[in-house]
Chain A
Amino acid sequence: MEILNLEGAEDTPKIMLDKANGIFEISGRSLPEDSAEFYQPILDWIEAYGNDHNPSTDFIFKLEYFNTASSKLILDVLSALEDIDGVNIIWYFHEDDEDMEEAGEEFSELVELPFEFKTY
């Protein structure tokens, strides 16, 4: 399966989705002009991955900031991951960033996925 690797920018997150090496990560800042358009390739990749997935998947979110339009798309990403067996979400937040911690907790309440919280 092809690797999806997008360099981060000041308004878009870094994306690394690599089945062979077991790396699944969205990190940085997410405030794209068109969040639906930005996240579509990620949703497509996850859908394809679901048809031939690894036995377990540690999916990392390490976001410094995301806007409200991105939050809707992050929920879509999580919902897509819900359909795949063996997915574990690792939600990173900066140790003094209570809002990012709370955002992770809220997502964990909206989907049926195990969440692990870590600070950086």
Chain B
Amino acid sequence: MILAYEGEFTQEITKSILAMVERNMDSTGEDSSIKRKVFNVMVESLQNIVKHADNNSSKSHSAVFMVGKQKEQYTIISGNPMNNDTIDLVKDKIDKVNELDKDGLKAYYKDIIKNTKISEKGGAGLGFVDMARKSGQKLVYDFQDMGTDKSFFALKSSIERL
């Protein structure tokens, strides 16, 4: 485990988390290409939480972010509560990304960037596509019912170490 964080997510906290993990990878002499990929996936994952996490959640429902390092790979996990009515949209997006191979992801990325406007939350709709492209791995997700009209959305990406 390199880092585990639970609590409020803002741009300032995003920057701090990025800096901590970068320092960790620098201190272990990680390969620069792997460092860039980990950084890339972390940014999209963290900014997803900042933009989409439900800000009205009580403390016990706050979001989490973790970076783990194993011999063969880095694992980046995010988790945040999500309204049940947005689950299908998110599932469809990730399932579509997971069906595509390298060339398919490239074509999908170009299609979205050409035809999509930035949303009012500031997203380009490219986060999952980019995470899949940079990690080179399928995205793994899970939704756990939280009892009310919310579910806990967990997303895991892995980056292989050379």
Interface positions of A (Cβ within 8 A of B): 10-11, 31, 33-36, 65, 67-69, 71-73, 75, 94, 96-99, 106, 109-110
Contact = CB atoms under 8 A, between A and B. Distances in A.
A116 to B, nearest CB: 21
Contacts of B33: 96-98
Contacts of B15: 10-11
Contact of B126 (A34, A36, A72, A94): A72
Contacts of B122: 33-36, 69
Interface of B: 11, 15, 19, 32-33, 36-37, 39-40, 43-44, 47, 50, 106, 109-110, 113-114, 116, 118, 122-124, 126-127, 129-130, 134
A110 B122 CA distance: 22
28 contacts: A10-B15, A10-B19, A11-B11, A11-B15, A33-B11, A33-B50, A35-B122, A65-B40, A67-B43, A67-B47, A68-B44, A68-B123, A68-B124, A68-B126, A68-B129, A68-B130, A69-B47, A69-B118, A69-B126, A72-B116, A97-B33, A97-B36, A98-B33, A99-B36, A99-B37, A99-B134, A106-B109, A110-B113
B126 A71 contact: yes
Contacts of B116: 72
In the complex, the 4 A-B pairs of residues with the closest C-beta atoms, listed nearest first: A68-B126, A33-B11, A72-B124, A69-B124
